[in-house]
């Protein structure tokens, strides 16, 4: 699943653990609802259906409706008769895509957030982007998502492999898998024993598969993996690359840091909030810079180990789905008083 799907799944589970009863309406999966296919883009088609009729959301007589918004999310232009919370993962203004229709989608997104009672931004940069759209700052709150790392028994936990570089994410241009592969090959060529691995699936699947095969074993394409398999890859890797064009927050970065890997990525909104001083950022598009940062980390094992330990402690201390759910429960109850 993409980041928004993971967010919905994990927040639902954490809120349920707190005794909150939840009914979900999704585009696909266990809680999928039917709607006419008009544009060919699921989130747009579902948005159209919900704006024509909100009955599927209100049939269970909810106390609060919580919507996942932003690019790839739902745009609900109608004010509901119950308190509404919107999660803003990121905004169209932050996204480099959709350039030809961005103005239209920004207007729809602005209207959606304006009719909501509260907009919960996943990061400070996303909160700033929402306020810049004209949404009053008084109704924008930052509630950071949590992370869930699968339990791995100590005797089953893979050993960290020096020089192993990992990419995890959707194989789409905005996530930068081509830049990741190029940087991995540069490092593997310069440092004997270094190697790369790419995990994910998407429209660039065939391209990445063929490009990895052409590296003579320096980069391996692992395809889409289960959650537990991804966690094992995090533990094996010394470095996780995130050459994204943008991120609302960067869940992969948090997961990697929690597993003791160091994140090297592009200096873009979202990743700055997530990584801060606990990783390495280079200018967007600087593939050679990604490779240099990786080489420096691999060569200085002592400094790398200390940085990884600080990042891991920070994530485990400050990020959990339980804490995220606690913040949302408090918000829901405030809206109902």
CATH: 3.30.1550.10, 1.10.1040.10, 3.40.50.2000, 3.40.50.170. Which one for 164-318?
Answer: 3.40.50.2000
Q: Are strands 164-168 and 84-88 parallel, antiparallel or unpaired?
A: unpaired
pLDDT, tens digit, for every residue of 241-251? 999 988 877 88
Euclidean distance between CA atoms 239 and 165, whole angstroms: 5
Phi-psi region at 276: left, alpha or beta (left = phi > 0; alpha = psi -120 to 50): left
Q: Does the predicted model carry a pTM greater than 0.85?
A: no
d(Cα 47, Cα 191) in Å, to the nearest integer? 50
Per-residue pLDDT of the chain (337 residues; tens, 9 = 90+): 467 888 899 999 999 999 999 999 988 888 888 899 999 888 899 999 999 999 888 999 999 999 998 888 899 999 999 999 999 988 877 666 555 666 788 888 999 999 999 999 998 888 999 999 999 999 999 998 888 766 555 567 889 999 999 999 999 999 999 999 999 999 999 999 999 999 999 999 999 999 999 999 999 999 999 988 999 999 999 999 999 988 877 889 999 999 999 999 999 877 888 898 999 999 999 999 999 999 999 999 999 999 999 999 988 888 888 889 999 999 999 999 9
pLDDT for the residue numbered 209: 97
**Around 316, how many Cα atoms within 13 Å sit in the side-chain half-sphere?**
10
The conformation of residue 26, written as its DSSP 8-state character, comes to: B
pLDDT the model gives residue 311 = 93
* CA separation for the pair 145, 36 (Å, rounded): 31
For position 149, what pLDDT does the model report?
A: 67
Residues of the chain within CATH 3.40.50.2000 domain(s) are: 3-146+320-336, 164-318
Query: Hey, what CATH topology would domain 3-146+320-336 get?
Result: Rossmann fold (3.40.50)
What's the start-to-end Cα distance of the chain, in Å? 35
The pLDDT score that the predictor gives to residue 247 is 83
Q: What is the pLDDT of residue 152?
A: 58
Residue labelled with tokens 């024993």: 193
Altogether, the residues listed in the chain come to a count of: 337
Detail the DSSP E strand segments found in the chain.
Answer: 65-69, 84-88, 118-121, 140-142, 164-168, 195-199, 219-223, 239-242, 262-266, 280-282
């Amino acid at each position: 699943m993409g980041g928004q799907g993971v967010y919905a799944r994990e927040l639902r589970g954490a809120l349920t653990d707190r005794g909150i009863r939840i009914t979900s309406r999704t585009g696909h999966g266990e809680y999928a609802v039917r709607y006419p296919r008009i544009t060919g883009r699921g989130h747009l088609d579902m948005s159209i259906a919900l704006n024509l009729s909100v009955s599927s959301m209100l049939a269970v007589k909810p106390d609060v409706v919580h919507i996942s918004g932003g690019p790839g999310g739902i745009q609900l232009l109608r004010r509901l008769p119950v308190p509404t919370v919107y999660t803003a993962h990121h905004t169209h203004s932050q996204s480099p895509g959709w350039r030809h229709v961005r103005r239209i989608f920004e207007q729809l997104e602005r209207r959606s957030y304006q009719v909501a009672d509260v907009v919960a931004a996943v990061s400070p940069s996303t909160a700033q982007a929402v306020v810049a759209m004209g949404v009053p700052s008084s109704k924008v709150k930052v509630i950071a998502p949590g992370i869930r790392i699968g339990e791995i028994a100590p005797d089953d936990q893979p050993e960290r492999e020096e020089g192993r570089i990992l990419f995890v994410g959707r194989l789409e241009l905005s996530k930068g898998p081509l830049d990741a592969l190029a940087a991995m090959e540069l490092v593997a060529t310069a440092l004997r024993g270094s190697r790369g691995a790419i995990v994910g699936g998407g429209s660039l699947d065939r391209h990445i598969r063929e490009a990895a095969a052409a590296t003579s074993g320096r980069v391996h394409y692992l395809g889409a993996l289960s959650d537990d398999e991804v966690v094992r890859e995090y533990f094996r890797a010394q470095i996780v690359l995130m050459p994204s064009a943008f991120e609302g927050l960067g869940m992969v970065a948090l997961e990697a840091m929690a597993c003791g890997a160091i994140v090297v990525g592009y200096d873009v909104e979202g990743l700055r909030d997530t990584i801060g001083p606990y990783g390495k950022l280079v200018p967007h598009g600087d593939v050679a810079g990604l490779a240099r940062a990786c080489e420096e980390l691999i060569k200085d094992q002592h400094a790398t180990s200390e940085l990884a330990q600080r990042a891991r402690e920070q994530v485990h201390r400050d990020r959990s789905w339980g804490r995220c759910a606690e913040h949302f429960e408090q918000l829901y109850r405030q809206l109902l008083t």
